Structure 1
Amino acid sequence: MFLSDFSIKKPIATIVMIIALMAMGLLAMSKLRVNQNPDVEIPGLFVSIPYPGASPDTVEREIVNRIEKSLQSVPGVTEVYSYSNEGSAGFEMRFSFKKNMIEATDEVRNVISSVRYKLPTEMREPVIRRFDPSQQPVLNMALSSSSMSHAEISRFAEDDLANRLRGLPGVATVNVNGALKRELSVLLRAEKLREFNVSVSEVVAALRTQNTNAPVGKVRGNLEEESIRLVGRIESPAEFQNIVVKRRGDQIVRLGQVASIEDGFADVNGVSIRSGKPNVGVQVLRSREASTVSVAKSVRKAMDEVNKELEKTHPGTKLDVTYDGGRDAQSSLNNVIESLIFGAVLTIFVVYAFLNSWRSTLITALSLPTSVIAAFIAVWLCGFTLNFMTLLGLSLAIGVLIDDAIVVRENIVRHMQNGSDRRTAALEGTAEIGLAVAATTFSIIAVFIP
């Protein structure tokens, strides 16, 4: 065998190559993303179509029945499930594993566009999401305070905390749950509408047209050009009182005359509670290319900085972690690594029990770290993550490696016992069974390739 002959005849070059491979393996291992589970792309899409204010029966009649059959015609789809909920419709689509999900997303979007004219005008634009197991929260946090109101911590979570977390590397989405959302309510008074002969549609049209910024043209000179914009965006709730709703000759009807303006909060659709006390929940989701452990560490570091600032500015306000997926992933991987090391140690003792030679056992044991560390180069080049599946694969490889090492080492020892010197015994012993050992290893690889 070429490798064994080269290693025996040029030991110094072989040692240098092994050290270089171990160094590259350690470098590759430091760059590996650490996740609890492998990144698996499930061939499926979920289509969500908001239809505000509609009952489940209306959603089924107006949306589901008109789209479902069209979605079944998408190439590669195997199953379609539909859901009619209060104010929304949902479709769960499953495809064959050979289907390109980018193409599938475009095809589903085109199918919905082709039947859009049949759907209600009040329906909002569909939201298409892929099935992605990685889109699970890496961290769940709870923001609570004894000195700030629920509205104040809601504003802090939405405007400050969420934006700060979104800027961290590897963070894809930050969801805020249980927060009060600011809402400006226009409460129309029926008697005033009748008195001034104003309809609801006129009020709605006035709000739309008089609360906007828009370009209206350009002024060109000989050497320069200036843009003209209509600046009509209302900056404060009090300014809504002055919106002109209707003109009757010289009389102007303003919004404050027919309605009252209230600066409050929208209806609460979700509540975040911890230990029986309401708070604001914050969920952090990682991007597909990011590591769960590294994202969790960076978020925890940012959380510590936020807590230090809150202690100075708002005593009694604290951001706590309720779930840490990074810590769970690291703990699971540590358990697998400990089992891997324990199994390797037991294997070494078994080798000694059968060979009854510390020299042979040491030579066999040295093949473990050199091979395993070098294997991380291939793991990194293939784009895999360090998860329990890759570690279990390494544990299986250790068993095959030890088996081959025992067979080769035992044959070399047999030649030495027959009177051959170490160099001759190594060359002849490896040449005798090298091809058989290689064939056995490649047979095992062939079984796992599919």
Structure 2
Amino acid sequence: MDFIGFSVKNPVKVIVAVILAAMFGLISLWATPVQLTPDVTEPKITVSTTWPGASAQEVEREIIEEQEEQLKSVEGLREFESTSSDSRGEIILKFEVGTDLGEARARVSDKLNQVPEYPEDANEPTITTVNPNENAIAWFILLPIPPSVEDMQAFARTHADTAEALQPFIDEGETPEYTVLAKLAETHPELKLLIKGKNNPALMKKFSEDFIESRFERVPGVANSNVFGGQEEEVRVVVDPAKLAAMQLTISDLRAALQAQNKNTSAGDMWEGKTRNVIRTLGQFRSIEQVENTVIAVRESTPVFVSDVAKVEINYKKPDGLVRQKGINALAINCQQAPETNVLEIMGPPREELDLDNNGEITSFELSEAKSRFGDSLRIAVEEMNNGALKPRGVQLVQVYDQTEYVTSATDLVETNIYLGGFLAVAILLTFLRSPRSVLIIGISIPISIIATFVFVRGFGRSINVISLAGMAFAVGMVVDNAIVVLENIFRHYEESGDPRKAAIKGTQEVWGAVLASTLTTLAVFVPVIFVQGQAGQLFRDISIAISCAVGLSLIVSITVIPTAARYILKDRSDATTPTNENAKKKKRPGIVSRFATAIVDGFIGMLRWMQETRGSFLIRVGVLSAIMIVSLVGAWAIMPETEYLPEGNRNLIFAILIPPPGYNIDKMIEIGESVEPLLAPHWEAKPGSPEAKELDGPMIESFFFVAR
């Protein structure tokens, strides 16, 4: 079948095909996940087990070794590594690329169920498909809600000594950050009354794990959420050794009594008439008094209670980590992205779009409307919690890191380069072809090929990232090659005959074989990369798919859309009285670009003729060729940039990791972190454009926090 003639004779069918390609391409574009870089990490599963109070050696001997004995036979496992530390053990299992993590997780769970037993105080192991130590897409800080402008005005009226310190905030009409007021209270002790009574976020770890962490993990696309810092509540039994010894008791006796009575026991059931009653004995402690009234033993017919030998109180556990944000204690919560998900959809729309009536406040109705419109997301979850359970407690979640800001800026930059590349390609074509109609015909091939490529990107299960967009940026200059070859031949026949229909069919039929050969040579370079396995294949597959599909589509466009467009865009001059081609050439005066190009070509031909006709031309050719090779190699070596696995880019974010000497406790690590805060405080305290900001020896800091663990 003659596709070229069929296309020229059926323009409506070609237009419909172009519209369908553009429509499905746009649908695929909106449905394709967006992320910074391709998923180049091998499939991993992390098994974490906690044993409070145990040393690293005990964790390794009692837990990790038992788990390794069972996990080493998991199907598809390539290698695993384990880490044992105080109170915690972790095993990271690595699988072959392409492994279904859902099935692998089920196999790992089955193997863990075969572990004979765990220590009495050890918690059940948790299985996650994301390494808790890997980068998160978002960080949130739990902070007290600062007082409003009205609160500061009322406080200043009743405490005249603080009016001068609070007046700048009142004049600006903006609520200051809590960290600013906390530092100001160090020099104005009266201000402590203003911020007094707020909940300490560092003492809300249990609430954060039960409420905030679980809410974040319910957002589609969030694989894991972690809470850092803070202290958990506990019922503490403080033993008096003298009283315990006087009663001839030991710590083991006390512990055994508490463990034996702190549990509910099933007592079977009892039938009474038509009903069946389930009987349970309730012994689990629900108050401090129940713990105090627990009987340890009987001495001389007198029961010995816990309150006789110990003091029972509610206190907080020793912190296993701490978070400070701009100089005050806080809690940090992060969120990690699940594989093959869209980071922009996970994060959700910006806060401005959630405020539907643009009044500065987001109501429950607006959140419900936004949730139905955009779906659930992290930003919506934050606003729901800030307006709901967190507000009565006097705390709020503040986002201090958002990966989507860098993702958006990086992808926007590449998209801009695509548009700029397309504009430059059209400008160069217009410069040399000097025919707006011809450039219009060629320009059609660029958007059609690029937009339709997203169908294949989505079909191959890839994502939109800087690598795939870079491939499309490269393809912008490549997709016009086929169109230029076809149109140039059509235009040559058009100048000879003046009939655009005959010129379109004949011109395309003459060169379609050469265009096909050229496209196949390009595909022969990039298509094999699609089948490369391992991390290299994951990294370069996106750029290979983008270029291969775009160039392949450009072949179809050049032999169908280009001749059809030429048929109807070029004017029909077959019946007009026009001068012959030779006379037209004589009357037409070449332009500046043509004269310049002709001069370059003539000069190059003259140089080649001299090199061939001069005596000793062989040595001259060898010398010129050698000089070109040497200059190329030396130039490539001189300008070659440093090599790295993936470019880091400018994320406007700095992560500094300090590894203290072995044996340092949390207090010492906190002391090290606090020593850094005074050096950086001026960078986050200065206001943009202020004299203080101009005097800084570095950039301003929007947010600063450190985690000690």
TM-score (norm 2): 0.56
**2:235–2:312: 8 Å Cα contact kept in structure 1?**
yes
Superposition deviation, residue 44 in structure 1: 4.5
Q: Does 1:372 align with 2:450?
A: yes
Q: Alignment partner for residue 380 of structure 2, among 301, 312, 316?
A: 301
Deviations 1:96-141 (A, max 9, x none): 5476666766777777777868x97776655555566996322111
Within 5 Å, give how 1:21-420 maps onto structure 2: 21-46=21-46, 48=48, 50=50, 52-56=52-56, 81-92=81-92, 94=94, 96-97=96-97, 127=126, 129-130=128-129, 136-145=135-144, 146=195, 147-150=197-200, 153-154=204-205, 157-220=208-271, 223-248=274-299, 250-297=301-348, 298-307=377-386, 313=392, 317-419=395-497
In structure 2, what is the Cα distance between the partners aligned to 1:311 and 1:201?
Answer: 42
* Consecutive unaligned residues in structure 1, runs of 5 or more: none
Cα 1:284–1:63 shift into 2, 3 Å:
closer
Deviations 1:16-38 (A, max 9, x none): 22112222222222222221122
Superposition deviation, residue 268 in structure 1: 0.8
Superposition deviation, residue 346 in structure 1: 0.9
Q: Which residue of 2 aligns with 1:11?
A: 11
Deviations 1:222-256 (A, max 9, x none): 75533322322222223211122224574322222
Q: Which residue of 1 aligns with 2:565?
A: none
For the aligned residue pairs, the C-alpha RMSD in angstroms reads 3.6
Which deviates more from structure 2 when the two are superposed, residues 92-101 or residues 440-449? Answer: 92-101
Amino acid at match of 1:5: G
Amino acid at match of 2:322: V
TM-score (norm 1): 0.84
In structure 1, what is the Cα distance between the partners aligned to 2:130 and 2:214?
Answer: 26
Amino acid at match of 1:241: E
Cα 1:318–1:73 shift into 2, 3 Å:
closer
Amino acid at match of 1:182: E
**1:5–1:427: 8 Å Cα contact kept in structure 2?**
yes
In structure 2, what is the Cα distance between the partners aligned to 1:242 and 1:444?
Answer: 83
Equivalent position SS for 2:411: helix
Cα 1:96–1:175 shift into 2, 3 Å:
closer
Which deviates more from structure 2 when the two are superposed, residues 147-156 or residues 3-12? Answer: 147-156
* Consecutive unaligned residues in structure 2, runs of 5 or more: 145-194, 349-376, 532-709
In structure 2, what is the Cα distance between the partners aligned to 1:314 and 1:58?
Answer: 40
Q: Which structure shows the higher strand fraction? A: 1
In structure 1, what is the Cα distance between the partners aligned to 2:24 and 2:229?
Answer: 48
Equivalent position SS for 1:418: helix
Superposition deviation, residue 387 in structure 1: 1.2
Q: Which residue of 2 aligns with 1:436?
A: 514
- Of structures 1 and 2, the one with the larger relative CO (CA 8 A, separation 6+) is 1
**1:241–1:254: 8 Å Cα contact kept in structure 2?**
yes
Q: Does 1:426 align with 2:425?
A: no
Identity %: 31
Amino acid at match of 1:20: L
In structure 2, what is the Cα distance between the partners aligned to 1:415 and 1:283?
Answer: 65
In structure 2, what is the Cα distance between the partners aligned to 1:95 and 1:163?
Answer: 28
Cα 1:243–1:3 shift into 2, 3 Å:
farther
Superposition deviation, residue 161 in structure 1: 3.4
Superposition deviation, residue 322 in structure 1: 1.2
Cα 1:344–1:102 shift into 2, 3 Å:
same
Amino acid at match of 1:173: N
**1:42–1:132: 8 Å Cα contact kept in structure 2?**
no
Superposition deviation, residue 189 in structure 1: 1.9
**1:143–1:153: 8 Å Cα contact kept in structure 2?**
no
In structure 1, what is the Cα distance between the partners aligned to 2:288 and 2:71?
Answer: 45
**2:25–2:454: 8 Å Cα contact kept in structure 1?**
yes
Which deviates more from structure 2 when the two are superposed, residues 197-206 or residues 403-412? Answer: 197-206
Superposition deviation, residue 410 in structure 1: 1.1
Equivalent position SS for 1:411: helix
Cα 1:78–1:212 shift into 2, 3 Å:
closer
Equivalent position SS for 1:267: coil
**1:39–1:133: 8 Å Cα contact kept in structure 2?**
no
Cα 1:131–1:163 shift into 2, 3 Å:
closer
**2:298–2:304: 8 Å Cα contact kept in structure 1?**
yes
Cα 1:424–1:279 shift into 2, 3 Å:
same
Equivalent position SS for 1:173: strand
In structure 2, what is the Cα distance between the partners aligned to 1:378 and 1:103?
Answer: 27
**2:129–2:223: 8 Å Cα contact kept in structure 1?**
no
Across the two proteins, how many residue pairs are aligned to each other?
A: 448
Cα 1:18–1:185 shift into 2, 3 Å:
same
Amino acid at match of 2:13: A
In structure 1, what is the Cα distance between the partners aligned to 2:458 and 2:112?
Answer: 40
In structure 2, what is the Cα distance between the partners aligned to 1:247 and 1:360?
Answer: 104
Equivalent position SS for 2:497: coil
In structure 2, what is the Cα distance between the partners aligned to 1:444 and 1:132?
Answer: 39
Deviations 1:149-185 (A, max 9, x none): 3256546534543344334333333322112211111
Amino acid at match of 1:438: L
Cα 1:223–1:384 shift into 2, 3 Å:
farther
Superposition deviation, residue 261 in structure 1: 0.9
Deviations 1:371-413 (A, max 9, x none): 2222222222332222112212222332331111111111111
Amino acid at match of 1:235: R
**1:134–1:288: 8 Å Cα contact kept in structure 2?**
no
Which deviates more from structure 2 when the two are superposed, residues 433-442 or residues 4-13? Answer: 433-442
**2:139–2:399: 8 Å Cα contact kept in structure 1?**
yes
**1:293–1:327: 8 Å Cα contact kept in structure 2?**
no
Cα 1:213–1:75 shift into 2, 3 Å:
closer
Cα 1:44–1:169 shift into 2, 3 Å:
closer
**2:130–2:223: 8 Å Cα contact kept in structure 1?**
no
**2:421–2:477: 8 Å Cα contact kept in structure 1?**
no
Superposition deviation, residue 447 in structure 1: 2.5
Which deviates more from structure 2 when the two are superposed, residues 177-186 or residues 165-174? Answer: 165-174
Which deviates more from structure 2 when the two are superposed, residues 44-53 or residues 438-447? Answer: 44-53
